[in-house]
Structure 1
């Protein structure tokens, strides 16, 4: 069975089942296992001199090891590939987590803050309704790329080995790819490789959102705003989502008690946001996913 055919079925299975709580309460999720491995390696290696070289060695080991593991599992046929791909795609769980913020926000602002704190790393204590909604929508857009389109893209290109390499490097970036004294050198290789692996998927995600919401005529503006983002990739899906919904997202936010003056994406868009906008963002996630699914099916049939 072709990579495209397996991916098509995996995307459907993920959308249908998501992440069954009963299963992952009993056994660690593969992404959790990857994270534990990276955490233990970081504790052993991220000290003393030559931190960049040590981080580069860890990144290379993750890539080679993930590729080898993927090739080994693939030798057993398309069924284990399908099951593992479905587990490592995150469309259903992404929508569930984002929608949970909107549902909580309708109960109270405090409930909304607690829900959004589960999916973003910024400070939430001083957020108002618009800030909670904006944060959830930004997370939706960025994670559509990182958690759905990018792993699907790399599975389509290189099968299960490609998907596992992507997930390992993306997990490493989320854990050690920070520009702070502890991780600046050690995590640099993982962060740069993650940027490279996400370069095409981020722009594909923006295009999927743009096409499904008929805002591709705004592509020059989407590209312009994307370049304002501190990440070379995250700004693309965020900018497309902002224009799809006619809203302004990103902008100033606080981390560890420090306010950072990031620019708004689609700065002229509506800034007063609510749970209704989160609902629209979840709808946008499904519309972009549906176009991706149709594209994969077309490739499989060809």
Structure 2
């Protein structure tokens, strides 16, 4: 084999080494960002002077919605095509913004990553619901109404607790593990692309008259981007349940019930959490004046209550610690 024949192999080896090093650096940044997020959270003073990245994403998405989601004189198929194009353009916008910010160096990258991880914010919002139950159902209904779209007016303690626990489990994926996954895989461009699509899904991914056609592209794309992270999140919750002595029921419930959800992804972490807490989750819930029927996860489990919310928060924290430990092991292994 000649020297010229070996050159492509040398280039491939160099590229592989670069990719492995980048993977290790990003894993270390994820750990640092998770610690910073836990310590600092969302500093209000900062967002009084600067727009949050998700707010900027929302403005971009709203612009697409205003210009392209016109129902008069436009067929549903045409609006669906426009929505798909908009979703693809949003990914391109995320990739470009993330790529440009990456040029600012490691500190800028770390700041952006910390801002877009929502572990502390998630804990705060779920804890607010649990704390509000000390003052009765009305304050708790108001608190849980801040984090769910379902009707809260007739919720009892069990309904409130289930809504909070389900939100925590689902958003451990959407707000922490999925952003970290796409950052480790594709750097800041991957993180921004994921977050802008996830924001679009929360804004226009509804199955109602206005968004069923136009928002379907963003919703399906969000489903695709969360396919691996949601299942990984469920496994991390199962692993965390080992410390509560419930790993068997958590794994069994995840495998049995996770697929029975309107979302192809949300059911997996929710089912894992139902087993880990030994409570039943999901089931019927009210949206507006309509009761939506759904299968219960871990139907034989106990009714959820305030104590179960606090226990779920401990499991969410343990799952994040396990994930951070995994990232550190990867970093050390690659450094060695």
Q: Please classify the TM superposition score into its range, dividing by the shorter chain length.
A: over 0.9
**Based on CA coordinates, which of the two structures has the bigger radius of gyration?**
2
* TM-superposed deviation, 1:301: 1.7
* TM-superposed deviation, 1:28: 2.1
2:309 aligned with 1:286, yes or no?
Answer: no
Q: Could you say which residue in structure 2 is the equivalent of 1:33?
A: 56
What are the Cα deviations for residues 179-213 of structure 1, in whole angstroms up to 9, with x where unaligned? Answer: 12211111111111111100100011000010111
Residue of structure 1 aligned with 2:211, choices 159, 166, 183: 183
Q: Could you say which residue in structure 1 is the equivalent of 2:96?
A: 68
Q: Could you say which residue in structure 1 is the equivalent of 2:43?
A: 20
* TM-superposed deviation, 1:22: 2.1
* TM-superposed deviation, 1:216: 4.4
Seen in structure 2, the aligned counterparts of structure 1 residues 26 and 75 have a Cα distance that, compared at 3 Å, is closer
SS state at 1:213 partner: helix
Q: Could you say which residue in structure 2 is the equivalent of 1:9?
A: 32
Within-5 A mapping of 1:218-229: 218=249, 219-229=251-261
Within-5 A mapping of 1:1-302: 2-47=25-70, 48-49=74-75, 50-214=78-242, 215-218=246-249, 219-271=251-303, 273-302=304-333
Cα distance between partner residues in 2 of 1:57 and 1:107: 48
TM-score (normalizing by structure 2): 0.87
Detail structure 1 runs of 4+ shifted over 6 Å in the superposition: none
TM-score (normalizing by structure 1): 0.97
SS state at 1:254 partner: strand
* TM-superposed deviation, 1:224: 2.2
SS state at 2:93 partner: helix
* TM-superposed deviation, 1:97: 0.4
Cα distance between partner residues in 2 of 1:299 and 1:193: 29
Cα distance between partner residues in 2 of 1:88 and 1:154: 12
* TM-superposed deviation, 1:11: 1.2
Contact 1:207 1:216 in 2 (8 A): no
What root-mean-square deviation, in Å, do the aligned CA atoms of Structure 1 and Structure 2 show?
Answer: 1.2
Aligned pairs, number: 301
